[in-house]
Amino acid sequence: MQIKSAEFLMSNSDVAKCPKDRLPEYAFIGRSNVGKSSLINMLMLRKSLAKTSGRPGKTQLINHFLINKNWYLVDLPGYGYARVSKSSKKVFQKFITNYFEKREQMVLAFVLVDCRHEPQPIDLEFMEWMGETGVPFNIIFTKADKLKPKALERNLEVYSTKMLETWEEMPPFFITSASDSTGRDEVLKYIDQLNEQLNVQ
């Protein structure tokens, strides 16, 4: 897939105010500081399409980006431990669940996981919730450039073993690095194939 255009459309915290057209949506979500904004910018070949921040929890809104005029990339708030007040945290956690439960045009969610760490309970719990709710998702392992190949392989094996304690099979996954564009073609090709199945023009 060639990215011909990528434009920010809207931010909001109310799922009812999300775009009314029926274009397919691909949601990107992960724990705070997993490298989501950097990944989105790498996929779209834009330096600052999604805002990156050293402070975890920067994205606290549902952000819609219109890609190639025919699908949406949706940047969702981190479900981790962002440094925000308890009341505000509760609110944005609620609209994450609202988004997944109400957006029928959401084709697939990409759950981002930092490949350097052992499986984190919050990630596993979130994916379990996705499974129970029937939300289709793939995993994107980020920051692959930070590990040597053998260490990466070992970490992925550990992750797979942990997932198979509760899942029948490991969900499809991609290995990416925002700094050297690892995985970019694979992720975009996958979205392209899904769009083709949906007859997106």
The partner residues of 139 in beta bridges, in order of sequence, read 111, 173
pLDDT by residue (tens digit) across 83-119?
A: 556 665 554 577 788 899 999 999 999 999 999 999 9
In a domain, 106, yes or no: yes
In a domain, 74, yes or no: yes
In a domain, 29, yes or no: yes
Q: Which domain holds residue 139?
A: 6-197
In a domain, 1, yes or no: no
Provide the whole-model pTM. 0.91
The residue behind tokens 């995993």 is: 139
Distance CA 27, CA 59 (A): 13
More confident residue, 82 or 199: 199
| Overall number of domains in the chain | 1
pLDDT by residue (tens digit) across 45-85?
A: 998 888 765 555 555 789 999 999 999 999 998 875 445 56
pLDDT by residue (tens digit) across 142-162?
A: 999 999 999 999 999 999 999
In a domain, 68, yes or no: yes
In a domain, 171, yes or no: yes
Mean pLDDT computed over 30-49: 92
In a domain, 87, yes or no: yes
The secondary structure of the chain, three-state, reads CCCCCEEEEEEECCHHHCCCCCCCEEEEEECCCCCHHHHHHHHHCCCCCCCCCCCCCCCCCEEEEEECCCEEEEECCCCCCCCCCHHHHHHHHHHHHHHHHHCCCEEEEEEEEECCCCCCHHHHHHHHHHHHHCCCEEEEEECHHHCCHHHHHHHHHHHHHHHCCCCCCCCCEEECECCCCECHHHHHHHHHHHHHHCCCC
Mean pLDDT computed over 182-200: 94
Distance CA 40, CA 56 (A): 16
In a domain, 35, yes or no: yes
What CATH number did the domain enclosing 26 receive? 3.40.50.300
Angle between helices 36-44 and 184-197 (to 10 degrees): 70
Can you give the pLDDT at residue 32? Answer: 81
